Amino acid sequence: MLGGMKILFTGDMVGSAGRQVFQRVTEQLRDEGQIDLVIANAENGAGGRGPSADIAEAILNAGAAALTLGDHTFDDKTLIPLLETDPRIVRPANLPPAAAGRGMTTIETEEGPICIISLLGRVFMDPADCPFRTADKLIGRAHAKTIFVDFHAEATSEKIALGRHLDGRVSGLFGTHTHVQTSDETLLPNGTAYITDLGMTGPKDSVIGREVEPVVQRFITGMPQKFNVSKKDLALEGVIVDVDISSGKTRGIERIRKRA
């Protein structure tokens, strides 16, 4: 019998509320036998900002086998040494070559190695190297048949295009960054699992994680506001992918949103 592994990928974790719902829901899914492994996007893990070293370690200890990041990678400088030393933490690969940390990593699982790549989009985002060419280069160097890409990008078109460009060459490509889950999860024609955005692991009663009223006022008045992370209506969002680790072949993708 082929060994299939069920891997949960979770969308941008926002604040202590996000960490709380992450821990509760992943424990429950594990107890129910629905998942074997968890890979989390942790880019807003600290009050909506990038995680500190302590917070990154807490998320790993809460059950994440690896963390991906995004445009908030360097918000907290205590994370920088950990980016260099802990192979479970991946920051975007298409940053300048001198940036701290790694953009691709390999983690060992019971069924074999998994390679994880993080990339930033370039549409409506700060400058970064070309994610398409960076992905081509990194896939050529991967030491695993199973490769997953977290594409941290704003534009749906850019995410779909990179998914199509990598179709059949990676086991899955999942969008992050918008904090809004899309309903287009699918296996692409050549077998790559794909979703435009995993969504958010945090407070749903919010504007992409922040308390509603100050964000609305900011848009109406154009005046600065303090954006606190909301704590209301917590949910974990992401996908569960069923993959044969030895071949990298994906058998299915299921979108999830679970409240706690």
Name the residues annotated as catalytic.
72
Closer to Fe ion by CB, 185 or 197: give it. 197
Closer to Fe ion by CB, 191 or 214: give it. 214
> By CB under 5 A, which span of 39-47, 119-127, 132-140, 155-163 interacts with Fe ion?
39-47
Which single residue brings its beta carbon nearest to Fe ion?
A: 12
Q: How far is CA 133 from the centre of its chain?
A: 20
Number of residues in contact with Fe ion, rule: CB under 5 A? 6
| Cα angle 112, 144, 69; round to 5 | 100
Query: Rounded CA gap, 143 and 54, in Å?
Result: 29
| Cα angle 244, 247, 251; round to 5 | 40
> By CB under 5 A, which span of 37-45, 123-131, 137-145, 167-175 interacts with Fe ion?
37-45
Query: Rounded CA gap, 106 and 109, in Å?
Result: 10
- Which whole-number Å values give the CA distances from 94 to 9, 122, 129, 151, in the listed order? 21, 10, 5, 11
Query: Rounded CA gap, 124 and 145, in Å?
Result: 32
Tell me the β-bridge partners of 210.
Answer: 207, 229
Among positions 23, 44, 52, 201, the unique one binding Fe ion when judged by CB under 5 A = 44
Q: In 3D, which of 80, 161, 170 has the Cα closest to residue 118?
A: 170
Shortest gap between Cβ of 208 and Fe ion (angstroms)?
A: 8
The residue assigned the tokens 């979703």 is 195
CB distance 68 to 42 below 8 Å: yes
Closer to Fe ion by CB, 169 or 177: give it. 177
Among positions 48, 50, 70, 172, the unique one binding Fe ion when judged by CB under 5 A = 70
Give the per-residue contact string, 152-191, with Fe ion (x = CB under 5 A; - = no): -------------------------x--------------
| Cα angle 98, 100, 105; round to 5 | 110
Q: Decide if residue 131 touches Fe ion (CB under 5 A).
A: no
Query: Rounded CA gap, 6 and 4, in Å?
Result: 7
Shortest gap between Cβ of 210 and Fe ion (angstroms)?
A: 11
Among positions 48, 51, 71, 159, the unique one binding Fe ion when judged by CB under 5 A = 71
Shortest gap between Cβ of 143 and Fe ion (angstroms)?
A: 28
Shortest gap between Cβ of 68 and Fe ion (angstroms)?
A: 11
Among positions 5, 10, 11, 12, the unique one binding Fe ion when judged by CB under 5 A = 12
Shortest gap between Cβ of 38 and Fe ion (angstroms)?
A: 18
The binding site for Fe ion (CB under 5 A) comprises 12, 43-44, 70-71, 177
